[in-house]
Amino acid sequence: MRNAPTILHLDMDAFYASVEQASKPSLRGKAVIVGGLGPRGVVATASYEARVFGVHSAMPMAQARRLAPNAAYLVPRFGIYRDISEQVMALLRELSPLVEPLSLDEAFVDLEAGGAAWDDSSARLVGAKLRGDIRAATGLAGSVGLAASKMLAKIASEQAKPDGLVLIEPGTERAMLGPMSVRTLPGVGPATGDHLRRAGIHTVEEIAEAGEDELVRLLGKAHGHALYAMALAHDERPVVAERETKSVSVEDTYDVDIHDRVRVGLEVQRLADRCVRRLRGAGLSGRTIVLKVRRYDFSTLTRSETLRGPTDDPAVVREAAARLLESVDTTGGVRLLGVGVSGLADYTQEDLFAQAAGELGEQQPVEGGADGAEAVAVARGEEGPSERRWLAGHDVRHAEYGHGWVQGSGLGRVTVRFETPGSTEPGRVRTFRVEDPGLEAVEPLPLVEERPGGGGGSRGAAGSRGAAGSGGSATSGASEGAVVGGVGGV
């Protein structure tokens, strides 16, 4: 561990919910909960106003509704979250070549490697300036922790929340950690915490006092040694600039169990196409196709098939996923499906079989054309692509009233609040028929207006993906919102 607090940990405060509040003036200062809105959805992020009621990420959405019935419940807009994340990560990379992203809203930075900081005062100045730069570029708040190791920097950023900065001075680590709960240390979850508590160990200092041998006896060799080192504030892990992607996958949790085998097959095909889009977007290909099926009784089955060479061909992935599905019994019902690709490479291996399959697959566009959307809609008993569904929180534009966002929809009606990030007061609310020709799904507006010369604006947000596809047909977009229920949120 170094002798200066030059490891920085940035954590954007309640990121998804904060983006929604910044986008929607009527929600500022209000309880906002982002996640899957179906019966099996989970909370991805809750604003600090919602956390007062006990709502937290990974909580079942049904429980959140009981705790905070008057909160605003919104479907995630991953496009704008990714774009804003890219802006924030770009600011971090200006500080150092060693930036280790952990998620869209969290990262470590080695300030010493970039020559940005070398002691307490320089590190504190860098942290303060970074918070200001992030607010100027995105309008959002981030909490910063500064310490001599990754573990301590992350603990510091937790103490700094919300919208603050905490620096742990070298030499004070043991005193600071001592009275904290054992759950403060990385890797100590509910099960390990309960195990330690039954042994009479409640604080970090008590872990250190118990000694390494006792921890090994209680937790096993690997975990015991690691936990004892952390209790002594020892953490030698370096900031790693590039984290190798091991797999690419997508999955959906369904509000109602799927019993129809044809429907299950169509869902697997749709997931395979989404997985390939993500694979191609990362410039990757893969050799191993993985199918995940969670059945009605919560039992989860995983099947995989390894190809002769890496591929990013949608038809090849679809066919492999279909073959894997043949070996799974789904008669009792399916609550979750997932398709993934592992064994990743940055090239593809062309072969005649893949090419032949590709010719057949041209009838099913990877980017989600109307034919594919209609097939899924028919399997679900919907009216097909002409029926538009509107996701709560997503962006729309009306020919007469301008830009707004969906407050809710049902019974053939959609309610829209017309306001923009720059509105000075909450916008007016109007209700339309779901098929109103004047209403269309659009891309989000920037959170911060571009300044002359291009500085300080949310340049990425304006180019992010829309609510339900650029054409306004939300049949395929509506299913995207259900993904959060399976992912568990960020």
Q: Which residue has the tokens 């395979």?
A: 272
Determine whether 425 is an active site residue: no
Three-class SS state of 360: helix
Read off the DSSP letter of residue 139: S
338: number of CA atoms within 13 Å, CB side?
A: 24
Question: Which strand (E) or helix (H) includes residue 212?
Answer: helix 212-219
The CB-based long-range contact list for 254-258 (8 Å cut-off, 24+ gap) reads 254/38, 254/40, 254/334, 254/335, 254/336, 254/337, 254/482, 255/38, 255/39, 255/40, 255/482, 255/485, 257/296, 257/333, 257/334, 257/335, 258/330, 258/333, 258/334, 258/335, 258/337
Three-class SS state of 157: helix
Q: What span, in angstroms and rounded, lies between the C-alpha atoms of 390 and 12?
A: 28
DSSP E strand boundaries for 242-360: 247-258, 285-295, 300-311, 334-345
Query: How far apart, in Å, are the Cα atoms of 9 and each of 44, 166, 172, 188, 468?
Result: 21, 10, 18, 19, 34
| Strand order from edge to edge, sheet including 32-35 | 43-46, 32-35, 72-74
Closest-CA residue to 285 (of 327, 252, 328, 314): 314
Backbone angles phi, psi at 228, to 5 degrees: -65, -45
Q: What span, in angstroms and rounded, lies between the C-alpha atoms of 67 and 75?
A: 18
Q: What span, in angstroms and rounded, lies between the C-alpha atoms of 113 and 241?
A: 11
Strand partners of residue 106: 11, 103
Query: How far apart, in Å, are the Cα atoms of 253 and each of 293, 425, 487?
Result: 10, 37, 8
Identified catalytic residue from 20, 49, 106, 480: 106
Beta strand pairing status for 72-74 and 32-35?
A: parallel
Q: What span, in angstroms and rounded, lies between the C-alpha atoms of 183 and 165?
A: 22
What is the set of active-site residues?
A: 106
